[in-house]
Amino acid sequence: MSKKLKIGLFGFGCVGQGLYHVLNNSTGFKADIVKIAVKNKNKERTVGAELITYDKWEILNNPEIDVIVELIDDANEAFNIVSEALKKGKHVVTANKKLLAEHLEELYLLQQENNVSLLYEASACGSIPIIRSLEEYFDNEELEKVSGIFNGTTNYILTKTIAEKLSYNDALKQAQDKGFAETDPTNDVEGYDAKFKAIIIALHAFGLIIKPEDVLNIGITTLHDNDIKYASEKGYKIKLTPIIQRLEDNKVSVFVAPRFIKENNHLYNVDNEFNGVIVEGKFSGEQFLQGRGAGSYPTGAAVLSDISALSHGYKYEFKKYAQKKAPTFTNDVLIEAYLRYTSEEDLKRIVFDEITEQYTGKDYHYVVGKVNLKNLIANRDYILKHQLFISLVDEKVSRPDVTVKSSIKENVTTKELVNY
C-alpha cells in the first residue's frame, strides 16, 4: 500500500500552481502540501497564508516532510535546496533542467550516499514520460539514437515562420504575447534549454554524464527570411532539435542545432508548443512520443507522476551508468549542414570537409555539405556575431574518415534560386 506523502514545495509560479491544481483535482492519488516556500513577500497568493513561508529551513528542517518539490527559477539556489534535502534524507522531485545538467554527478552520488530518491520527469519534455521510459522500458537495450523537439517556445516560433510566413522577430513577439516566450528568450531560442534536457536524457539513454560546456548549442536567433524561403521551397519545416547518437566506434555525440525536417519524419507535424521524442533501439526499432512540452498543468502532471512514484518507493536505477559500460562522448563528428554566409571570410572560418551544393547571389549565399562539429564549436561566437545561420540537412552523424577530404567536391552543384 502506498504511503500518503507530506510535501514541502519550493516555488509557486506557473509550474508550482499547476502542481497544486493537479494534486487537488486528482482522484487517484492524495498527498498533502505542508508548506510552500516563496521569495516575494509582496505578491498576492491564491492559497492561504498559513501555507506560505519565506524561510527555506522551515521546510528543510521539518521532520514530518518526506518529499521536497523544487520548482524555482534560480538554478544555484535550487542546487543548495536539493543537495541539503538529500543530505537530510528527504526525497526530492524537481523540474529544474539547468540544475540537473550542471550537477548530475554530484546529485547522483548524494542519492546513493543518503539512500534517497531524486526524480525529475518534468525536467525534460513536459508531459512526455521520456525519462521513465528510458529507465524502465529501454534499461537493458542498446540505443542507437534519441532525438526530437525538446523546447516548446522555439517550436512555436518556427511553426509560425513556415505556416504563416512570419519573420523570426514577428513570430518571437507573438510567442511572448501568448506567454510561451520570456521577455528575455535567450535560454530557449539559443538552445540552452534543449541542451540541458539532452544532457539529462543522455545519462538515462547511454549512461553518460556530460558537462554542458562540452555540448554545442546553436539556436534560431540568426534565422533570416531567406532561410525560411529556402526551407519552404524544398518542402522542409525548420525545427530546433537535440541529437544524441551512438556512432560506429561506440562513441556518442550530443548537440543542439536547427534542422530541416522532411515530411516523412515524425517531427514534421509536431507544431506549436508541442514536443516530440524519437527513440531508436538496436532491437526495438523506432518509438515516437508526443505531448505538450510546457505549460502549467502538463508540467504539474509530470511532477505529480514523480510524487506518486515516490509513494511506492520508486528510484531511478541508472543501470547504464552504474554498470560503467557507457560509450565515450565525442565532438569529432561530421554533420551535413546548410550554412547561410555573408563573405568568403566566413568559409575560411567555417571549413566544410565536403560541399555538395552552393549558391551565390547579390544578397544571399549558402553552401550545403559536411562540416566537423568541432569546427562549429570553435566558431559558435563567430556565427552569432556575424548573423550566419546553420541548419542540419541530414540527421545522420558520422565519424570523419582517417584520410583528409578535399574542401570541395568536384561535382558541386550551384543553383540559381529565382525567388530570391
Active site residues: 197
**Structural contact between residues 162 and 230, judged by C-beta atoms closer than 8 angstroms:** no
**Structural contact between residues 226 and 417, judged by C-beta atoms closer than 8 angstroms:** no
**Alpha carbon distance 322, 317 (integer Å):** 8
Q: List CB contacts of 115: < 8 A, sequence separation 6 or more.
A: 89
Q: What is the radius of gyration, based on Cα positions, of the chain?
A: 23
Question: Residue written as cell 498533502?
Answer: 32
**Can you give the three-state secondary structure of 51-70, one letter per residue?**
HEECCHHHHHCCCCCCEEEE
Q: How far is CA 336 from CA 286, 393, 400, in A?
A: 22, 6, 12
List alpha helices for 122-224, DSSP H.
130-136, 152-163, 168-177, 186-189, 192-206
Q: What is the largest CA-CA distance in the chain?
A: 74
Question: Residue written as cell 524544398?
Answer: 234
Q: List CB contacts of 248: < 8 A, sequence separation 6 or more.
A: 398, 399
